[in-house]
Amino acid sequence: MNFKLILNIAFHLLQARLKQTIVAAVGVTFSIAMFIALVSFMNGLNDLLDGLMLNRTPHVLLYNEIKPSENQPIFLSKEFKNKTNFIRSIKPKDIGKSIYNSKTIIAVLKKDTRVIDVAPKVTSPVFFNSGTIEISGVINGIDVLSEEKLFKISDYIVDGNVTDLLQNNSIIIGKGLSDKMLLSKGDIIKITTSKGNLASLKIVGISEIGIAEIDNVMSYTSLATAQKIVGESTNYITDIQINLYDRTSAPAVAKEFRNTFNLDTIDYQTANSQFETGSTVRSIISYAVGVVLLIVAGFGIYNILNMMIYEKMDSIAILKATGFSGNDVQWIFISLSIIIGLAGGLFGLLFGYIFSSIIDIIPFETASLPTVKTYPINYNPLYYGIGITFALFTTTIAGLFPALKASKIDPVEIIRGK
Amino acid sequence: MENNVILETKGLSKYFYDPVKFQVLKEIEMRINYGEFVSIVGKSGCGKSTLLYLLSTMDTAYDGQIYIHNQLVTGKTDRELALIRNEKIGFVFQFHYLLAEYNVLKNVMLPGMKLGKYSDQELENRAMKHLKTLDMEDQALKMPNQLSGGQKQRVAIARALINDPLIIMGDEPTGNLDKKNSDLVFDIFNRLTQEENQTLLVVTHDTDFANRTTRIITMEDGKIIS
């Protein structure tokens, strides 16, 4: 088949109906541009909201959970092995929050190629004392450098510097706490642990995550300081946080580590399943709107091609009489719609990018997100690929039916009708 | 002798079904030899145009067989028939059917470009040569809507000639033209048979036109009577 000739004819037909062609292409352009802008914005928003929670949640967390022992003494008895045993009033067993042999586990994890980094943590409930008032809260002893590497906590420090935590007896407290206790950077805060230990720490910073429940109770200190406050040795670690290069593999890795290290593990997907659901729903909505826009544009193309066929009946008839087969005529009309789809789609990508850039510079200031200044946009090239594929797909389908109709036109009927 | 036959039909019948079943063509047996200038005449409704469209391979719903150049064309696919039309048959209709989007030269070249036998440059030369013999070379770059009716018909003839067809078929090619232009078209056809030995088959109701051709086929009620 002579595609050059077919394309040439298609182009000439388009030129003859330039205005309608442009209208059809603008329909595609508009829908693709809106699709790109919408998906980029939605995904930017998704990333932001996911980041709010997920970036602070380790992909895999290793810890000791307080729970009843799975192997009750009765199961060890040979006599009752094949019986069904009912045990009443089981109490959970506290094996201690400390992770046994934590140093070795951390060393092994650091060598694992799937792991970005490991951040050990000591968490303990404490009371913050202000005069006669005691406010309950949580103190997190963190390895400042690896915590910063994995979770970018410096993003949420509104006053002070996270590296100041490396000094002995320093603490960063949540904004809610500092507001309640009228404390600011440089002040001294008194802390009582649940075991009655007392400590005075110097405030070197204020953190604000944007979630009041967390900001009201949270505080950070160095690993060594936290171990000292709870009165434990330097081996005392309550949580091991791991981030993976491939975060989707977290559930599998969590399961593997649970068996390897005989610890409780939780992956971020299980911990934040409601966030994943929200992201999925938002994505579905934006794709659905995009597809609907494209279908509307597809109907526009269908109409215009149909009209063109009625107008060009004579031309189709003579093309067939002089040796173009039905197939050739069909390809002429399919290439017509592909040209419209391609031109409209490419402009759509361009305008989509421009719209996204405009959204990207609109100010979006919110107290809860100190690092965010403008609306978030995700410029993933994948969306542009999907956009142009959608455009070509819908326009080809829209062109297919008129093209089939054109290929079936009987030239005798038209020529004899004159 | 056998090789001289360009077009042959055997037991060609055609029915119309709408509104009632009606036999338009009844067992037509005919033969057209190389170099003949044949006209088909007959009253309106005698089936002469229908016969032409069957012979043109555009209408494929018939009984019987058609041979073009001793080759059976009955039952071939749409694509094969399109190729036969492209290569072996030139058409001139009552209406010119020029494509409004192309200029005269391109209109003439189009069937040649489809055939793809010659390069574009060569095709252009051939198209110009045909336009020249039809006295149209100075109109080559005009658009069809800038031409008169007679000129358009001459362009259509040039288009029919571009692939050196075995036979040119005409359906009332002078039907829309005045006396002067009709004579012009006849002269062109006549010259083609005289000088180039071109085979022509023309359906007409213009008796003047028919009387000057080398052979007249008269039809009545779906049959050839002479």
CA distances for B209 relative to A294, B40, B93, B150, angstroms: 58, 11, 15, 16
For residue A418, what pLDDT is reported? 56
For residue A367, what pLDDT is reported? 66
Residue A15 with chain B: CB contacts under 8 Å:
101
Radius of gyration of chain A (CA): 33
Instruction: Give the model's confidence band at B134: pLDDT under 50 very low, under 70 low, under 90 confident, else very high.
Output: confident
Query: Residue B164's closest CA among B85, B87, B63?
Result: B87
Query: Reading across the β-sheet that carries B71-72, which strands appear in turn?
Result: B22-33, B5-16, B63-68, B71-72
Range of the domain at B170: 35-62+77-224
Residue B99 with chain A: CB contacts under 8 Å:
12, 315, 318
Q: Are strands B5-16 and B63-68 parallel, antiparallel or unpaired?
A: antiparallel
Residue A322 with chain B: CB contacts under 8 Å:
85-86, 91, 110-111, 114, 159
- Indicate if A373 and A398 belong to the same structural domain: yes
Strand-pair partners of A174: A207
Whether A50 has a pLDDT exceeding 80, the answer reads: no
Q: Cβ B100–A411 below 8 Å, yes or no?
A: no
Q: Cβ B97–A317 below 8 Å, yes or no?
A: yes
Query: Residue B108's closest CA among B165, B164, B162, B173?
Result: B162
Residue A413 contacts B where some CB pair is shorter than 8 Å = no
Q: Cβ A327–B91 below 8 Å, yes or no?
A: no
The per-residue pLDDT of chain A, averaged, comes to 85
The SS3 assignment for B208 reads helix
Exposure pattern of B60-91 as b/e (b: 16+ CB <10 Å)? bebebebbbeeeebbeeeeeebbbbbbbbbbb
Domain end point (choices A213, A236, A271): A271
Query: How many CB atoms lie under 10 A from the CB of residue B147?
Result: 18
- Indicate if A243 and A302 belong to the same structural domain: no
- CB contacts < 8 A (A, B): 79
Q: What is the mean pLDDT of residues B124-129?
A: 91
Classify residue B9: in a domain, yes or no.
no
Q: Number of folded domains in chain B?
A: 1
Q: Cβ A323–B101 below 8 Å, yes or no?
A: no
For residue A204, what pLDDT is reported? 92
Q: Cβ B85–A415 below 8 Å, yes or no?
A: no
Instruction: Give the model's confidence band at A352: pLDDT under 50 very low, under 70 low, under 90 confident, else very high.
Output: very high
> A291: buried, middle or exposed (CB in 10 Å: 19+, 13-18, 0-12)?
middle
CA dihedral of residues B125, B127, B131, B133 (deg, nearest 10):
70
For residue A35, what pLDDT is reported? 87
- Indicate if A102 and A68 belong to the same structural domain: yes
- Indicate if A250 and A103 belong to the same structural domain: yes
Classify residue B69: in a domain, yes or no.
no
Please tell me which residue, A154 or B89, carries the higher pLDDT value.
Answer: B89
Instruction: Give the model's confidence band at B149: pLDDT under 50 very low, under 70 low, under 90 confident, else very high.
Output: confident
Whether A214 has a pLDDT exceeding 60, the answer reads: yes
pLDDT of B89-123, one tens digit each?
999 988 888 888 889 999 999 998 888 888 889 99
- Indicate if A166 and A283 belong to the same structural domain: no
Classify residue B4: in a domain, yes or no.
no
Q: Measured between CB atoms, which of B49, B83, B100 is closest to A416?
A: B49
- Indicate if A31 and A118 belong to the same structural domain: no
Q: Cβ A318–B100 below 8 Å, yes or no?
A: no
For residue A355, what pLDDT is reported? 93
- Indicate if A26 and A123 belong to the same structural domain: no
Q: For B78, name the nearest residue in chain A, comparing CA atoms only.
A: A325
Provide the percentage of residues in chain A whose pLDDT is more than 70. Answer: 97
The SS3 assignment for B12 reads strand
Residue B52 with chain A: CB contacts under 8 Å:
none
Q: Cβ A323–B87 below 8 Å, yes or no?
A: yes
Lowest mean pLDDT, pick from A275-284, B137-146, B155-164, B208-217: A275-284
Q: Number of folded domains in chain A?
A: 2
Q: What is the mean pLDDT of residues A332-357?
A: 91
pLDDT of A396-416, one tens digit each?
888 888 899 888 888 888 887
- Indicate if A184 and A300 belong to the same structural domain: no
Range of the domain at A368: 3-54+275-417
Amino acid found at A245: Y
Classify residue B11: in a domain, yes or no.
no
Domain end point (choices A271, A299, A328): A271
- Indicate if A180 and A81 belong to the same structural domain: yes
- Indicate if A79 and A174 belong to the same structural domain: yes
- Indicate if A261 and A281 belong to the same structural domain: no
pLDDT of B58-84, one tens digit each?
888 899 999 998 889 998 988 899 999
Residues of B with CB under 8 A from a CB of A: 49, 53, 56, 58-59, 78-79, 81-83, 85-87, 91, 93-95, 97-102, 110-111, 113-116, 159, 163, 171
CA distances for B101 relative to A9, A17, A180, B36, B73, angstroms: 9, 10, 80, 35, 33
Classify residue B18: in a domain, yes or no.
no
Instruction: Give the model's confidence band at B1: pLDDT under 50 very low, under 70 low, under 90 confident, else very high.
Output: very low
Residue A323 contacts B where some CB pair is shorter than 8 Å = yes
Whether A349 has a pLDDT exceeding 90, the answer reads: yes
Amino acid found at A405: K
Whether B2 has a pLDDT exceeding 60, the answer reads: no
Interface mutation vs chain B, best among A322, A404, A412, most B CBs within 10 Å: A322
Interface mutation vs chain A, best among B24, B56, B60, B95, most A CBs within 10 Å: B95
For residue A368, what pLDDT is reported? 64
Interface mutation vs chain A, best among B58, B119, B172, most A CBs within 10 Å: B58
ipTM of model: 0.87
The SS3 assignment for A339 reads helix
Domain end point (choices A254, A271, A288): A271
In this structure, what CATH number is given to the domain that contains residue B43? 3.40.50.300
For residue B216, what pLDDT is reported? 92
Provide the percentage of residues in chain A whose pLDDT is more than 90. Answer: 12
Exposure pattern of A138-173 as b/e (b: 16+ CB <10 Å)? ebbbbbbebbbebbebbbbbebbebebbeeebbbbb
Residue B53 with chain A: CB contacts under 8 Å:
412, 415-416
Residue A13 contacts B where some CB pair is shorter than 8 Å = yes
- Indicate if A260 and A185 belong to the same structural domain: yes
For residue A221, what pLDDT is reported? 92
Classify residue B15: in a domain, yes or no.
no
Q: What is the mean pLDDT of residues A124-130?
A: 88
